């Protein structure tokens, strides 16, 4: 399980540019999702074989000095509380500012690794000017230029060395289903409805994410771990804190599950935060089931209300529309077991291994009847396909001119794979390679 690293600092020092550079360092694990408040972002990166999650605490609101001080303190304290290490970013162009000193004062009290990154150091003159940041009392600083990556290697080397070792994740063959969604959508109630009165439940196991719990479910022939992300610490004061922890827990749970049960409140709709969680699960290549809870509370339902609601969701998740949607009510327990049956089916589809001969016997005739359109007078000939040995379905199609296969044809192949091999709810990847 990776560590959490927070990037903090005042506005306009280059935090987001640095964040984007880190999450794009390896294409295979790029992942970013906008937070629910003030443009926080969450992502994943790695360096020297160590994975870590990133929090970019951007978007401070600058008003009067008092308003700004309260806002920056809250942002930094939230990030510090969740993080294993902090990167404090400052700007060599403006030098040490009172805002920098405010943040430094908070960080000097923290019993966690703090790395001071002096950004925009792209020439020798600025390298000399960076010396003044010793005055912040945080020890050694790292001169970097986030726009071109200069100096980031030394910073990341020091970060990896400073990060605490993480406990090895307990090996288990049981599927892990993460119940995710915005606060008050019914996540805890859904899990309680499933396990509350059942005596077949074993024990609660401490999860890999802070304050999440894995509950082993063994009933009606199903056995899996339910990951509850609803156990949010009510830190104090404001709703914003609650949503920060909700999103961070969802991010961590999604990264370490097999299937995401995305619960939404039917009375609120498929809003921005739910969409962020959905796309995070999709980019992590997890199985997905959308659960529309509180359907019994929707007023003025007519014959087509459910179909129209479902159609609205599918428009929002294009082009990945092949996702099961279950309308349920946790309060009345309507269709809650249908939700579990669907999740198990998606897990089985995600774990499916298709024999190469079967894959070719089915897909090559389809390709022969519907070949890729000619591009620049060139004709693509696909001769062979195989499933790659990855945890989720990925397929390689070997052809003479892979560079001329356009995106619409890739989507055509993906849709045929879904239809022929029942891959509903599973993000799949299709690659065209030189034979």
Report pLDDT for 118: 92
Helix pair 15-23, 152-162: axis angle to 10 deg: 80
- Burial of 167 by CB count in 10 Å (0-12 exposed, 13-18 middle, 19+ buried)? exposed
According to DSSP, residue 269 is labeled -
Query: Which long-range CB contacts under 8 A does 123-130 form with residues at least 24 apart?
Result: 126/92, 126/93, 129/92, 129/95, 130/92
**272 annotated as ligand-binding:** no
**196 annotated as ligand-binding:** no
**295 annotated as ligand-binding:** yes
Query: Hey, is 6 helix, strand or coil?
Result: strand
Specify whether 203 is located in the same domain as 309. yes
**151 annotated as ligand-binding:** no
**57 annotated as ligand-binding:** yes
Q: Which residue has the tokens 């609601």?
A: 309
Specify whether 299 is located in the same domain as 378. no
Specify whether 94 is located in the same domain as 45. yes
Specify whether 93 is located in the same domain as 226. no
**185 annotated as ligand-binding:** yes
**221 annotated as ligand-binding:** no
**60 annotated as ligand-binding:** yes
**16 annotated as ligand-binding:** yes
**258 annotated as ligand-binding:** no
Q: Answer with the one of 329, 350, 371 that is the final residue of a domain.
A: 350
Q: Answer with the one of 162, 185, 212 that is the final residue of a domain.
A: 162
Non-local (6+) Cβ contacts of 347 within 8 A are 175, 177, 224, 258, 259, 287
**Residue 167 domain-assigned?**
no
**294 annotated as ligand-binding:** yes
Specify whether 155 is located in the same domain as 181. no
**229 annotated as ligand-binding:** yes
**58 annotated as ligand-binding:** yes
Structural domain range at position 226: 176-350
**230 annotated as ligand-binding:** yes
Report pLDDT for 220: 67
**301 annotated as ligand-binding:** no
**253 annotated as ligand-binding:** no
**186 annotated as ligand-binding:** yes
Q: Give the ranges where 172-329 is alpha helix by DSSP (H).
A: 187-195, 239-255, 272-283, 305-316
**296 annotated as ligand-binding:** yes
pLDDT averaged over 10-residue windows placed end to end, the chain, 435 residues:
78 80 50 40 75 70 48 64 87 88 84 90 86 89 88 90 69 77 79 61 34 65 74 39 56 82 90 83 89 86 85 90 91 89 91 93 93 86 91 90 89 91 90 87
**14 annotated as ligand-binding:** yes
**287 annotated as ligand-binding:** no
CA angle at 422 for the pair 420 and 427, rounded to the nearest 5°: 110
Rounded to whole angstroms, the Cα distance separating 166 from 160 reads 12
Closest to 45 in 3D by CA, of 62, 63, 60, 26 = 26
- Distances in Å between the alpha carbon of 370 and those of 363, 382, 383, 404, 422? 10, 11, 14, 15, 20
Rounded to whole angstroms, the Cα distance separating 327 from 306 reads 8
Closest to 423 in 3D by CA, of 314, 292, 320 = 320
Specify whether 258 is located in the same domain as 378. no
Rounded to whole angstroms, the Cα distance separating 286 from 295 reads 25
**236 annotated as ligand-binding:** no
**182 annotated as ligand-binding:** yes
**Number of domains comprising the chain:** 3
**271 annotated as ligand-binding:** no
**Residue 343 domain-assigned?**
yes
**56 annotated as ligand-binding:** yes
Task: Tell me the β-bridge partners of 6.
Answer: 55, 86
Q: What is the largest CA-CA distance in the chain?
A: 72
According to DSSP, residue 431 is labeled E
Report pLDDT for 292: 93
**Residue 196 domain-assigned?**
yes
Specify whether 196 is located in the same domain as 229. yes
CATH number of the CATH domain containing 368: 3.30.300.20
């Amino acid at each position: 399980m990776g560590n959490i690293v927070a990037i903090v600092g005042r506005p306009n020092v280059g935090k987001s540019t640095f964040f984007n550079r880190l999450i794009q360092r390896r294409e295979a694990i790029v992942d970013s999702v906008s937070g629910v408040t003030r443009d926080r972002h969450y992502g994943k990166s790695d360096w020297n074989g160590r994975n870590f999650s990133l929090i970019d605490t951007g978007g401070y609101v600058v008003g009067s000095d008092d308003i700004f001080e309260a806002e920056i303190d809250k942002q930094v304290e939230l990030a510090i509380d969740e993080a294993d290490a902090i990167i404090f970013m400052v700007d060599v162009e403006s030098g040490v500012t009172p805002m920098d000193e405010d943040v430094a004062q908070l960080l000097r009290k923290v019993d966690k690794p703090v790395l001071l990154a002096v950004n925009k150091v792209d020439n020798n003159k600025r390298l000399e000017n960076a010396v003044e940041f010793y005055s912040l009392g945080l020890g050694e600083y790292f001169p970097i230029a986030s726009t071109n990556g200069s100096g980031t290697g030394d910073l990341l080397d020091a970060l990896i060395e400073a990060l605490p070792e993480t406990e090895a994740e307990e090996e288990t063959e049981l599927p892990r289903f993460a119940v995710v969604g915005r606060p008050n959508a019914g996540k805890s109630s859904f899990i309680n409805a499933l396990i509350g009165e059942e005596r077949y439940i074993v024990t609660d196991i401490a999860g890999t994410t802070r304050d999440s719990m894995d509950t082993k479910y063994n009933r009606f022939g199903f056995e899996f771990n339910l990951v509850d992300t609803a156990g949010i610490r009510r830190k104090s004061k404001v709703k914003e804190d609650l949503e920060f922890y909700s999103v961070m827990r969802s991010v961590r749970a999604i990264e370490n599950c097999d299937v995401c049960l995305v619960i939404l409140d039917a009375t609120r709709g498929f809003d921005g935060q739910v969409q962020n969680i959905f796309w995070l699960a999709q980019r992590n290549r997890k199985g997905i089931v959308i659960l529309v809870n509180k359907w019994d509370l929707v007023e003025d339902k007519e014959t087509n209300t459910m179909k129209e609601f479902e159609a609205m969701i599918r428009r929002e998740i294009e082009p990945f529309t092949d996702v099961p949607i279950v309308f349920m009510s946790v309060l009345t327990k309507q269709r809650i077991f249908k939700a579990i049956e669907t999740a198990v089916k998606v897990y089985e589809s995600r774990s499916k291994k298709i024999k190469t001969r079967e894959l070719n016997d089915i897909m090559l005739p389809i390709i022969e009847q519907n070949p890729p359109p000619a591009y620049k007078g060139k004709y693509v000939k696909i001769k062979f396909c195989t499933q790659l040995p990855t945890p989720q379905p990925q397929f390689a199609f070997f052809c003479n001119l892979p560079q001329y296969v356009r995106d619409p044809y890739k989507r055509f192949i993906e849709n045929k794979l879904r239809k022929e091999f029942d891959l509903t709810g599973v993000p799949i990847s299709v690659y065209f390679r030189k034979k």
